Chains A and B, each alone.
Chain A
Amino acid sequence: MLRVDVTKQLGEFSLEASFESQGRVTGLFGASGAGKTSLINMIAGLMRPDRGVIALDGETLDDTSAGVHVRPHRRRIGYVFQDARLFPHLDVRQNLDYGRRMNRLATDSAQLTRITDLLDIGGLLERRPGKLSGGERQRVALGRALLSKPRLLLLDEPLGSLDEGRKEEILPYLVRLRDEGIPMVYVSHDAAELRQLATQIVMLKHGRVTALGGVKVLT
């Protein structure tokens, strides 16, 4: 379970969000500028809230009144960025292996095969990120995050930088991923996308939560 209750002032913009989520896939829905990315950056630990609490499965990750702030690398929260952010100096295989190496986990070739099959990236392993299409890059980024064995996966508009055809290409993989059962927070401004993927919706508007509930709040 994910519990978020935070405030953050970013220049003129103020973010005040509070929600709890039991859902497997929490859809964070709102127009651009609603504060979605800031919110998941705080969940990832990349940004610190001014005030408030973030807790995951009973573990406190941030609690400003107690001075608690767990650093991003200790959170075991995966993050798929809109712009993929693959490491340009490493090939696809090394990118996929990066999280395992950093966390000093044992090599798990079965898991690697499973993920590369799931995402159809087995044929790309020797390539450099510069030689991948946008859709391929996004799938590798997904695989890289999954292979670091996170307990929660954050996805920030993973289809945002892709055209319609490419979106159709990735969406089935995301559905497969959801059915794998890994908890996700999925950020999008596209209601149709969230209707397909999310099990619970948090609606954000001008830095405030305006609705909470099942996908039917997306009317």
Chain B
Amino acid sequence: MSEISPAEWTAILLSLRVAIMATLVATPFGIGLAWLLARREFWGKSVLDALVHLPLVLPPVVTGYLLLLTFGRRGLVGAWLADNLGIVFAFRWTGAALACGIMSFPLLVRPIRLSIEAVDRRLEQASSTLGAAPWQVFATVTLPLALPGVLAGMVLGFAKAIGEFGATITFVSNIPGETQTISSAIYSLIQAPDGDAAAGRLVLISIVIAMGALIASEWFARRATKRLHGN
């Protein structure tokens, strides 16, 4: 295997930028939603739960197409955002981040929800008898105790985002330097007659990133158990 070419570097760095952006923006929403699903009973909860998981079971090309219809230049939301706030998703790296964020959202939310459910509600009660308002209970007891789960969810979401292909290529296409991530670069390379070596290098890099993320996620989960036992 020879050296990584500038074009490959561009794809790798773009993938990282897209996945980091997707994870950072999705995390606050993920925490809020995980808390709602873990701690509140409300009308339509099972529908919301299903909706969060939808990208996991829907064909990615369908999600991508729906994104195009909604956030495309002439889409209902996309047109409004472009005209009023100057935010354009279509065929931009930000669109790739949006697609990756939505596709990885179920994987992000699940560990956070589980770790919030594992927080002892009796500790939250103790906190409220000591004078903590509900948001203070969340900020000083629930969230710190669920933190390893939050990190695990972020790592898992990041790993999913960096490998996302179907929804991204449908929504923002495969433009080198703008929307061509590692996955779409590999796709282009294996279509070309002499792309095997380059594709092999990128495949190796995606395996390393994915393995690293899984190991990190496992490590955070183990820390969570330790934290809850107060040692």
- Tell whether A pairs with B: yes
**Nearest CB on B from A5, distance (A):** 22
Within 8 A of A (CB), among B31-86: none
Q: Which residues of chain A are near B2, meaning CB under 8 Å? A: none
A102-B129 in contact (CB<8A):
no
Q: Can you name the residue of chain B whose Cβ is closest to the Cβ of A77?
A: B129
B129-A88 in contact (CB<8A):
no
Q: Can you name the residue of chain B whose Cβ is closest to the Cβ of A94?
A: B140
**Nearest CB on B from A142, distance (A):** 13
Q: Say which one of B15-23, B120-128, B176-184, B214-222 lies at the interface with A.
A: B120-128
A73-B128 in contact (CB<8A):
yes
B145-A144 in contact (CB<8A):
no
Q: Say which one of A79-87, A118-126, A201-209 lies at the interface with B.
A: A79-87
CA distance A161 to B136 in the complex (A): 29
Q: Say which one of A106-114, A127-135, A178-186, A210-218 lies at the interface with B.
A: A127-135
Chain B window 188-231, contacts with chain A (Cβ cutoff 8 Å), 1 for yes, 0 for no? 00000000000000000000000000000000000000011111
CA distance A156 to B120 in the complex (A): 18
Instruction: Give the number of residues in B that approach A within 8 Å (Cβ atoms).
Output: 23
- Given the contacts A85-B122, A102-B136, A71 and B128 also touching, CB distance less than 8 Å: yes
A88-B228 in contact (CB<8A):
yes
A145 contacts chain B at the CB level, 8 A cutoff: yes
Q: Which residues of chain A are near B120, meaning CB under 8 Å? A: 85
**Nearest CB on A from B62, distance (A):** 42
Q: Which residues of chain A are near B231, meaning CB under 8 Å? A: 128, 130-131
Q: Which residues of chain B are near A73, meaning CB under 8 Å? A: 128-134, 136
- Given the contacts A87-B141, A88-B145, A145 and B130 also touching, CB distance less than 8 Å: yes
Q: Which residues of chain B are near A79, meaning CB under 8 Å? A: 126, 129
Q: Which residues of chain A are near B129, meaning CB under 8 Å? A: 44-46, 72-73, 75, 77-79, 145
Instruction: Give the number of residues in A that approach B within 8 Å (Cβ atoms).
Output: 29
CA distance A161 to B127 in the complex (A): 21
Q: Can you name the residue of chain A whose Cβ is closest to the Cβ of B147?
A: A89
A98 contacts chain B at the CB level, 8 A cutoff: yes
Q: Can you name the residue of chain A whose Cβ is closest to the Cβ of B136?
A: A102
Q: Can you name the residue of chain A whose Cβ is closest to the Cβ of B231?
A: A130
Q: Can you name the residue of chain B whose Cβ is closest to the Cβ of A91?
A: B230
A72-B145 in contact (CB<8A):
no
**Nearest CB on B from A72, distance (A):** 4
A130-B229 in contact (CB<8A):
yes
B126-A81 in contact (CB<8A):
yes
Q: Which residues of chain B are near A78, meaning CB under 8 Å? A: 129-130
> Mind listing 9 A-B residue pairs with CB under 8 Å?
A44-B129, A78-B130, A79-B129, A81-B126, A87-B127, A88-B123, A89-B145, A102-B132, A128-B230
Residues of B in contact with A (beta carbons under 8 Å apart): 120, 122-123, 125-134, 136, 140-141, 144-145, 227-231
17 more contacts with CB within 8 A, not counting A71-B128, A98-B132, A102-B132, are A46-B129, A73-B129, A73-B130, A73-B134, A76-B131, A79-B126, A85-B120, A85-B126, A86-B230, A87-B127, A87-B141, A88-B123, A88-B227, A89-B230, A102-B127, A128-B230, A130-B231
